[in-house]
Structure 1
Amino acid sequence: MMSQVFKCHKIVEGCVEADITLSKDDIMFYLIRPEDGVMIETGHDMEGRSMAKKILAFPSGKGSSVVQADGLFQLMKKDNQPAGMIVERAETVLVTSAIIFEIPMVDKVDPAFYETVQEGDHIRLDAVNEEITIL
């Protein structure tokens, strides 16, 4: 299969390759277990799944700035933060946290990407050149 390339908009620079994990629900990083990156929020569509070292595609963040930044910081202390983030709605707290923790982040992704990508696909998130490639 040929790799497919989709345009996106850079928020935080960086280029990373990893498996993707998809969420239809907004994410509060405080409700992710730092030891393994597993979502512990009851009823969340990612409940029981890990985002550690994966590229995380999700609608947006939720919760106060303190719990978002601290949640990501706790994940980073255990080296279980997402490798990169693809968001639909980039809110200030999420963007600031991604900048501080140097996690590549993009938004405004070509809608065809969401119709094509599947859980566990290996992708390259190239925020520098504003491209996402399904490998």
Structure 2
Amino acid sequence: MIIELRGRGIVPGHAEGEALVSHETISGWGGIDPATGTIIERRHELYGVCFTGKVLVFPGAKGSSGWSAFFQSTRLLGTAPLAMVFSTLSTKSALGAVVTRVPAVSQLDQDPVATIHTGDRVTVDAYRGIVTVTTDR
């Protein structure tokens, strides 16, 4: 089955890969290890899971303005997600996507966290604000 979500491109670009979905917001400052691209927030549902090379689908950012600096570090260290798709647009999530320099889409016509599942094949066309999901469900 193919599902198409339409939204707003935040950082232009095109990427295709496997989805990693978080139902919880992600803390950049102290919530991720930029050296490995792993979520290290102890009570997070994805604790210990690496987002490097995945399309990271999540509700949005939480925590301080340091969120973007930690995600920028993932770009510099080669551990960044392939693309970002987030439900709630905030200055933290938008700036984080910009400094990470990965295609990013938000403000979609369907909740991406409810629609996309970890392991789905996702194409992010942030030029047009379109996220295409290929799933076996």
**TM-score, normalised by the number of residues in structure 2:** 0.86
Written as runs of structure 1 = structure 2, the 5 A alignment for 1:115-130 is: 115-130=114-129
Structure 2: gaps spanning 5 or more residues: none
- 2:113, 2:93 → 1: CA distance? 21
Deviates more, 1:86-95 or 1:115-124: 115-124
**TM-score, normalised by the number of residues in structure 1:** 0.87
Partner SS, residue 111 of structure 1? coil
Q: CA deviation at 1:92?
A: 0.7
- 1:116, 1:106 → 2: CA distance? 14
- 1:53, 1:62 → 2: CA distance? 22
- 2:9, 2:104 → 1: CA distance? 7
Counterpart in the other structure of 1:134: 133
The root-mean-square deviation of aligned C-alpha atoms, in Å, is 1.8
Deviations 1:21-65 (A, max 9, x none): 111111112321223211110110111111111111111111211
Could you tell me which amino acid in structure 2 is paired with residue 80 of structure 1?
Answer: T
Runs of 4+ in 1 over 6 A off after TM superposition: none
Structure 1: gaps spanning 5 or more residues: none
User: How many corresponding residue pairs?
Assistant: 133
